[in-house]
Structure 1
Amino acid sequence: MLAILAISSQQWIPAFGWMAAAVFVDSFDGLLARKLRVKEVLPEFDGALLDNIVDFLNFVFVPAYFLYAADFLPSSVALVGATLIMLASAYQFCQNDAKTDDHYFTGFPSYWNIMVFYMFILSLNGWVNMAIIVLLSTLVFVPIRYIYPSRSTMYRRLTMTLAIIWGVVNIVILIQYPAFSPWLVWASLAFVFYYTGLSLYIMYQSQN
């Protein structure tokens, strides 16, 4: 809600701060629920369903609203782009194998908050942004397996270490915005390339 209010006021940096806070909470909310034995205390309460609802709001609706409100897309297709994100993600969230038992995502995960972050700092052309949305929305339906960074067993320590560094780099970029150093952007993108490459490598290895 705080992110939505910040976006509505065109306070972009605070909005990213609240979105980052949501990611932080998401990283340990499941562990906290297990520690508090929520299933035992509230046996009729479906924590997994609540988690999906919250994730959809934080990682789909808020970023879609952000790119629409920030005019990242040409006005003629702005609503189309935001709607495409919502529909593709709704499909993925309803798939039984969206998260596999061995801790992978099937199809492009809802990393729309990350996409919006790069659109913001790179100031890409609106039509380029639209092309990216179409590509990523299409990848939702392609059965590529993407690693679940905090739960994947392969290269977990390396991945989590790099993810923490990546998060710090992104925070520095936002603090320095708009006068951030270009090398910080490349350092940030390096983790995206690593994550994508590792996901494809592990999937290839598992099929051979």
Structure 2
Amino acid sequence: MWPRTRALSVHLLTATGAVFAMLSLLAAVEGAWSAMFLWLLMALIVDGVDGPLARRWDVTLHAARFDGVLLDLIIDYLTYVFIPVYALYASGLVPGWAGWGILIVVPFASALYFCDTRMKTADASFEGFPGCWNMVALTVFILQPNPWLTLIAAILLSVAMFLPIRFVHPTRTRQWRPVTLSVTTVWMILALTAAWGEFGLGQVLGWSFAACTLYLLCAGAVQQALGGIAGREGRR
């Protein structure tokens, strides 16, 4: 009985992400952007914890009635895509035609990506940009770039969802895992600090946050490139 109860508890933990999504949406509708991101970050923490627990406690064996992967994807689409994209437009940070471009391109591309059966590589990295628009939106709220620059970045990342470019999984990608976990931890601390403090990180912490975000975006591609170089050298 205990293994089954333990496995079911993981599904219950995952499902709390839906509650955090609702609370985040209510905050977004009221224009309480700091509260919105705090709830999104709570959902992100749950998303980072439930996967390792599911694998450790054999959820697919002991609680097979519920599809944890499907449950996770439903919640992720809300917290990674739908609510953050709404926030970019409704906050006024990406208004007008640039905002409409993001409202159309990002949800459309993300809906296709989230049902892509080849989104994971053999080393548990992501094949293509993993639709982490919550991270992108928070970066925009902190750095507040030009709206058209945000739109261009959104289009490029949307295209990157379907390209053979590798992106690291913060906890599962083995290559550089200690560095990636450290960067992810720093990113999460800075993200919570930014959301709590109305996005005023200051110059040093702001650029530190941007550097952590850049690492998480580019580390997989660098690993992929270095692996390709090593493979070519090995064949010589």
Worse overlay, 156-165 or 189-198: 189-198
| Cα deviations by residue, 1:111-166 (Å, 9 ceiling, x for unpaired) | 10011111111222222221221121121122101111200111111210121112
TM-score normalised according to structure 2 size:
0.80
Q: Distance in 2 between matches of 1:42 and 1:176?
A: 40
Which aligned pairs between 1:69-80 and structure 2 lie closer than 5 A?
Answer: 69-80=90-101
Q: Structure 1's 80 and 196: CA in aligned 2 closer, same or farther, altered over 3 A?
A: closer
Sequence identity of aligned pairs in percent?
A: 33
Q: Structure 1's 184 and 54: CA in aligned 2 closer, same or farther, altered over 3 A?
A: same
The one-letter amino acid of 2:223's match is: I
**Contact 1:74 1:127 (8 Å CA) reproduced:** no
Worse overlay, 187-196 or 48-57: 187-196
Q: Provide structure 1 residue ranges, at least 5 long, that are not aligned to the other structure.
A: none
1:141 aligns to 2:150 (yes or no):
no
Q: Distance in 1 between matches of 2:195 and 2:64?
A: 42
Q: Structure 1's 43 and 65: CA in aligned 2 closer, same or farther, altered over 3 A?
A: same
Residue among 106, 119, 141 paired with 2:140: 119
Q: Structure 1's 10 and 36: CA in aligned 2 closer, same or farther, altered over 3 A?
A: same
Residue among 28, 36, 39 paired with 1:7: 28
Q: Provide structure 2 residue ranges, at least 5 long, that are not aligned to the other structure.
A: 1-21, 232-236
The one-letter amino acid of 1:146's match is: F
Give, in angstroms, the shift of residue 85 of structure 1: 0.7
Q: Distance in 2 between matches of 1:198 and 1:180?
A: 24
Which aligned pairs between 1:86-97 and structure 2 lie closer than 5 A?
Answer: 86-97=107-118
Q: Structure 1's 142 and 4: CA in aligned 2 closer, same or farther, altered over 3 A?
A: same
Q: Distance in 1 between matches of 2:35 and 2:57?
A: 31
Question: Of the two, which has the highest radius of gyration?
Answer: 2
**Contact 1:59 1:112 (8 Å CA) reproduced:** yes
Aligned with 1:96: secondary structure? coil
Give, in angstroms, the shift of residue 177 of structure 1: 3.2
Give, in angstroms, the shift of residue 75 of structure 1: 2.0
Give, in angstroms, the shift of residue 37 of structure 1: 4.8
More helix per residue: 2
Which aligned pairs between 1:1-208 and structure 2 lie closer than 5 A?
Answer: 1-34=22-55, 37-177=58-198, 179-207=200-228, 208=231
Aligned-CA RMSD value: 1.9
